[in-house]
Structure 1
């Protein structure tokens, strides 16, 4: 795998998809449909999915692609693959709250090794570079020219004053009870894979997720966090969260900066 080429392609496709998403987001109205699992899907999800999946298959024809919006890609047994959520946080998109992202990741031998997370409404772009280190790019994004990049590193947590980030749309009593096991200085909420990115930037120390997620929801954010020195583990036993699971469904998990002493469930 040529990781420099991969970074270039994933970054470009995320920006192009973001442009398509924002055209629809800024329109006066758009259609919202309901999928078989009762989750919403919009024309923005579908347009971004077509663009990204076609671009990945053209650039990397030998690597399988798994994408949320193409059910036929879900019936695969894979260890190495590209995985896409073209619009993560559709509920945030529909409510026009801005906390939605484009997620593209590479999984290698069941590990989320490279990824890009783009939040077009917030103007934030995070990705792993050719060396697997995570950067945030700022400025006016150009598809062919990389702007200013800042290497990211997780915080050095103060165990007596942690900053916790949790889901904006899916926070529940179980999540609050688990957060209550820690000495928390501040708590914030965010939508989509931005929660991983807030831990990657050092804006938060801990992100527990006690709810259903799929691998396309988490792989890109996981890779971004890992490239900044963070970790993602299974909630029950604190073993590493891996990918290529049957049905691509995740268990509950915890994303965190090393230095946080994880509590038992």
Structure 2
């Protein structure tokens, strides 16, 4: 993938993060919360981030599939071999709770596979970015690119997975969506491993924790949409890991007729028999 597109996505995520923070840090803001058809919350920050990101990405030759945008019928989408998939504010519930655990997610998908991904944590000022040929990286304390080239960003970033020594088997789980099936999985892991630690987090941060090496696995046995996982999927793939469909050897794929993901597990790549 051309480096200018990666930089475009990074700039879009950083600017969207700044726009979100301006609303988040305004003590007078009520976030203008609405309810979507599925009863999930939508705030003014979701809408503003969507506008900002599409403003950056519309200058590229690829169509955009955004959670907050118009979802075209599959008859039209099925002809897309490459496209952007965006969650302008992943973790809206966490945003409303003001716990800081929300992200900006941007991915570039080619032939149903997430090839490039950018995830930005506005409150922590942490940027994850990856491309399948370049690898996966994390930058801390970043609010803008400042004109830096991609090579300069990579030179100042930490390559993922970072070296992490763990004496426990770490499972990362959703802070807002811990399903009974996930609880059963956790109990199964406790029988297989001598020491199990459970880490709770919101949004796509959970995927990033596995990519970093801070967690061994992230099971998700509850509903998610393609835009929830695409950017994180690109990052874990570039870090040598995978997001497998639960109970199968196949990874998640994208631009399906139904944009709902099946249940999945984020973990190191499995050895093929």
Common fold by TM > 0.5: yes
- Does 1:178 pair with 2:179? no
Q: Residue 199 of structure 2 aligns to a residue in which SS?
A: strand
In the TM superposition, residue 123 of structure 1 has moved relative to its aligned partner by: 1.8
1:228 and 2:239 aligned: yes
Structure 1 residue 47, shift from structure 2 partner: 0.3
TM-score of the superposed pair, with normalisation by structure 1 = 0.90
Cα deviation, residue 86, structure 1: 0.2
Name 2:54's counterpart in structure 1.
53
Aligned to 1:20: 19
Equivalent position of 1:100 in the other structure:
102
1: CA distance, partners of 2:47 / 2:98: 17
Distance 1:140 1:72, change over 3 A: closer
Partner of 1:80: 82
Choose 128-137 or 172-181, whichever is displaced more: 128-137
The match for 1:199 is 210
Partner in structure 2 of residue 44 of structure 1: 45
Task: Give the 3 Å change call, closer, same or farther, for CA 48–73 of structure 1 in structure 2.
Answer: farther
- What are the Cα deviations for residues 200-241 of structure 1, in whole angstroms up to 9, with x where unaligned? 111001000001110000000111111111111000323111
SS in structure 1 at match of 2:176: coil
Structure 1 counterpart of 2:227: 216
The residue aligned with 1:8 is: 7
Whole-angstrom distance in 2 between the partners of 1:162 and 1:155: 15
CA positional deviation for 1:132? 3.4
Pick the aligned partner of 1:120 from 119, 122, 139.
122
- What is the CA–CA distance in structure 2 between the aligned matches of 1:140 and 1:236, rounded to whole Å? 38
1:152 and 2:160 equivalent?
yes
How large is the Cα RMSD of the aligned pairs?
2.1
- Alpha-carbon separation, structure 2, partners of 1:74 and 1:101: 27
Q: Residue 23 of structure 1: SS of its match in structure 2?
A: helix
TM-superposed CA distance for 1:138, in Å, is: 2.0
Cα distance, 1:130 vs structure 2:
7.9
| CA distance in structure 1 between the aligned counterparts of 2:163 and 2:260, rounded to whole angstroms | 29
> How far off is 1:14 after superposition?
0.3
State the number of aligned residues: 256
Stretch deviating more after TM superposition (94-103 or 63-72): 63-72
Q: 2:186, 2:130 → 1: CA distance?
A: 29
Residue 67 of structure 2 corresponds to which residue in structure 1?
68
- Select which of 254, 257, 263 maps to 2:265: 254
User: Kindly tell me: are residues 254 and 156 of structure 1, through their superposed partners in 2, closer, same or farther at Cα, counting changes over 3 Å?
Assistant: farther
Measure, in 2, the Cα distance between the counterparts of 1:144 and 1:155: 28
The CA deviation string for residues 110-155 of structure 1, in whole angstroms up to 9 with x for no partner, is 1011000001012211001583311001234323344521111277
Q: Report the equivalent of 2:136.
A: 134
